[in-house]
């Protein structure tokens, strides 16, 4: 059994743009598999082929897995955004316990429909989704299949991938580097202080800006990008705030969870 983690997740995300975007690397439809937030497979509407993104996926899974996956991705190109998957907790005796199953649809960035595996019913957070909810709730075989996938099939695949990717996922966490920089702000006379942590994995970190020992927050104008992927399976995050450069002393970046790493003091920057 893999060491270093207690909770593992396997999710698949399908995204369709309602309008084409003429930008490199942006496709009308994309689908990707993520294990513990690391990409393991990928498909887009231009290449129209499901491909492995980890060497162990390429080595361990047969050609028909990728062929069937390609056909499945092609059949799902009509959805706007669909995320489904499972999260498991490894018990002290080594057994796997389902922590959470996810099957949800979004439209234009807003939640549209989600499956509640406890009640085997669909949940509609917006009125526009109610007709679809009623229709799907009437199809019991669909709900039974969805529950079975989340609680059994997804967990089985995740367990298999955990064994295949043992070396990669049992490696030590990646420790971040912290950078502090400033540039002119929109408000005359002020600067925007930015703290960037990069190269960390997993992606769940908390980074703060402190002034004279006190943590600044949204009420102080702090903005965050949230954790964003790098191209090497690690993540980066930036937070920033406008400050008066005359009061630069005492501004410190602190990555407080889970690493407790302190960045440069802006007051000491040249």
Residue-wise DSSP of 188-209: TT-EEEEEEEEEEBSS--EEEE
**Section 231-239 average pLDDT:** 81
Determine contact, residues 228/236, Cβ cutoff 8 Å: yes
pLDDT tens figures, 107-130: 766 789 999 988 999 999 999 999
Locate all alpha helices (DSSP H) within 76-119, ordered by sequence.
Answer: none
Q: What is the pLDDT of residue 267?
A: 44
**Average pLDDT of every residue of the chain:** 82
The total number of residues written for the chain in this structure: 270
Buried b or exposed e, range 71-95, using 16+ CB within 10 angstroms: eebeeebeebbbbbbbbbebeeeee
Question: Phi, psi at residue 225, to the nearest 5°?
Answer: -85, -15
Q: What is the pLDDT of residue 172?
A: 54
60: which residues sit within 8 A by CB, 6+ positions away?
164
pLDDT tens figures, 171-223: 556 777 888 887 887 788 788 888 888 888 877 788 888 887 788 888 988 98
* pTM exceeding the 0.75 threshold for the entire prediction: no
Q: What is the pLDDT of residue 169?
A: 65
Domains (range + CATH), the chain: 7-169 (3.30.500.10), 177-265 (2.60.40.10)
The secondary element (H helix, E strand) that includes residue 215 is: strand 214-215
User: Prior bond to 258 cis, omega within 30?
Assistant: yes
């Amino acid at each position: 059994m893999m060491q270093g983690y207690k909770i593992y997740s396997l999710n698949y995300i399908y995204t369709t743009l309602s309008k084409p975007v003429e930008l490199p690397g942006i496709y009308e439809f994309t689908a990707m598999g993520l294990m513990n937030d690391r990409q393991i497979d990928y498909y887009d509407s231009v290449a129209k082929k499901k491909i492995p993104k980890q060497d162990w996926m390429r080595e361990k899974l047969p050609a028909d897995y990728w062929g069937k996956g390609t056909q499945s991705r092609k059949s799902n190109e009509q959805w706007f955004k669909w995320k489904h998957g499972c999260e498991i907790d490894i018990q002290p005796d080594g057994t796997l316990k389902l922590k959470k199953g996810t099957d949800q649809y979004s439209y234009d960035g807003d939640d549209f429909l989600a499956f509640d595996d406890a009640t085997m019913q669909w949940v509609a957070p917006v009125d526009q989704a109610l007709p679809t909810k009623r229709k799907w709730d009437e199809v019991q075989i669909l709900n039974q299949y969805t529950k079975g996938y989340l609680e059994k099939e997804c967990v089985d695949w995740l367990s298999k991938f955990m064994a295949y990717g043992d070396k990669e996922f049992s490696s030590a966490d990646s420790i971040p580097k912290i950078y502090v920089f400033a540039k002119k702000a929109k408000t005359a006379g002020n600067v925007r202080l930015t703290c960037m942590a990069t190269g960390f994995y997993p992606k769940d970190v908390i980074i703060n800006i402190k002034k004279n020992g006190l943590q600044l927050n949204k009420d102080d104008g702090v903005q965050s990008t949230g954790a964003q992927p790098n191209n090497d399976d690690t993540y980066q995050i930036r937070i920033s705030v406008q400050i008066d450069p005359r009061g630069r002393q005492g501004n410190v970046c602190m990555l407080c969870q889970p690493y407790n790493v302190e960045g440069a003091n802006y007051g000491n920057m040249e």
